């Protein structure tokens, strides 16, 4: 379950307008994912992604809208309609499986 095959299409479609192609809203870009995600500190109290630990991954909290509960800030992402439960589950599964490239 690698990023390129499972998450890249979803995140490009739903988040790319603000976080791809030279855009780095909030200082975060998906251009070099997963290198900029796994084990990299976020501006919150935890890394963006902690491989194998969805509950310790700020990206998942930000997408699920639970980011304020873990010391995050701002709005749930993406702006507009939230990810569906199945889309959030896909992100959770990728992290749980080791957040592979």
Per-chain mean pLDDT for the chain: 89
Ordered by start, the domain boundaries in the chain are: 3-96
Per-residue pLDDT, 37: 80
Integer Cα distance of 17 and 63 in angstroms: 15
Per-residue pLDDT, 77: 95
- pLDDT: which is higher, 9 or 20: 9
Identify the three-state secondary structure at position 58. Answer: helix
Q: pLDDT, tens digit, for every residue of 25-84?
A: 877 777 766 777 888 887 778 999 999 999 999 999 999 999 999 999 999 999 999 999
Per-residue pLDDT, 84: 98
What Å distances lie between residue 60 and 21, 26, 46, 68, CA to CA?
Answer: 22, 16, 11, 12
Per-residue pLDDT, 72: 92
């Amino acid at each position: 379950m690698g990023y390129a095959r499972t998450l890249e299409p979803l995140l490009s479609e739903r988040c790319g307008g603000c976080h791809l192609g030279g855009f780095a809203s909030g200082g975060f870009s998906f251009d070099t994912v997963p290198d900029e995600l796994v084990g990299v500190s976020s501006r919150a109290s935890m890394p963006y992604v902690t491989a194998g630990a969805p509950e310790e991954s700020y990206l998942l909290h930000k997408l699920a809208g639970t980011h304020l509960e873990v010391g995050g800030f701002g709005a749930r992402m993406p702006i507009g309609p939230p990810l569906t439960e199945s889309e959030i589950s896909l992100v959770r599964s990728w992290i749980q499986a080791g957040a592979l490239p």
